[in-house]
Amino acid sequence: MLIVTTGGTIDKVYFDAKSDYEVGKTIIGSLLEQAQVHYPFEILELLQKDSLEITAKDREKIRTAIMQAKQSQIVITHGTDTMTNTAHHLADIKDKTIVLTGSLAPARFAMTDAMFNIGMAVSAAQTLDQGVYIAMNGQIFPAENVTKNLDLNRFERNL
């Protein structure tokens, strides 16, 4: 399995009470180690950006990395604000199972959804058919049928 990290809240580091932050070095390897994950994986730290700063060029860089990967099971950690945009950009990639995930609170926080979402994404990448998915909020969504509800701060199936 290849885990591609792009930044987002999951890897944010906060510095003070004003919530100043920067996207830091990924914590995903440590999380998987703590969880005793023995399924073989490789981590590719591709970007360290808030998803609102991810450009079309960045999305093409993500796409190229996935297309060139020898692995067919791909997990992408990504900020939640534009995760669906990146998922749509990857939707036509064949012969791979691609699962995007992130968190609504940094993985470094005690109260976070990061570990749960990573676990779901790793499991989903191993068991789902080829395609592009988002693993968030205890659910797996096909990339073409999901929206982030900004008012409720959660992902939902399109109606």
Per-residue pLDDT reduced to its tens digit, 77-87: 999 999 999 99
- The domain spanning residue 116 has which CATH number? 3.40.50.1170
- Could you list the residue range(s) of the whole structural domain that residue 118 is in? 2-157
Beta strands per DSSP E along the chain: 2-7, 12-14, 21-23, 42-49, 73-77, 97-101, 131-136, 139-142, 146-149, 154-157
Q: Which of 99, 116, 95, 98 is nearest to 107 (CA)?
A: 116
Decide: 73 and 3 in contact? Cβ < 8 Å: no
pTM score, whole prediction: 0.91
Residue 143 CB neighbour total at 10 angstroms: 20
Question: What is the dihedral sign for C-alpha 94, 91, 55, 71?
Answer: negative
Query: Distances from the Cα of 88 to the Cαs of 26, 85, 107, in angstroms?
Result: 24, 5, 25
> Side chain identity at 55, as an amino acid letter?
T
Q: Which residues pair with 45 in a beta bridge?
A: 5
Q: Per-residue pLDDT averaged across 90-119, rounded?
A: 91
42: which strand partners?
A: 2
* Per-residue confidence band for 63, with pLDDT thresholds at 50, 70 and 90: very high
How confident is residue 101, by pLDDT bands cut at 50, 70 and 90? very high
Number of domains in the chain: 1
Highest mean pLDDT among 30-39, 59-68, 147-156: 59-68
Who has greater pLDDT, 13 or 68?
68
Q: How confident is the model at residue 68 (pLDDT cuts 50, 70, 90)?
A: very high
Under a CB-based contact definition with an 8 Å cutoff, are residues 133 and 141 in contact? yes
pLDDT on residue 1: 98
CA distances from residue 27 to 11, 14, 86, 108 in whole angstroms, order as listed: 6, 14, 21, 8
Q: In this predicted structure, what is the pLDDT of residue 12?
A: 75
Going by pLDDT thresholds of 50, 70 and 90, the confidence category of residue 53 is: very high
Q: How confident is the model at residue 16 (pLDDT cuts 50, 70, 90)?
A: low
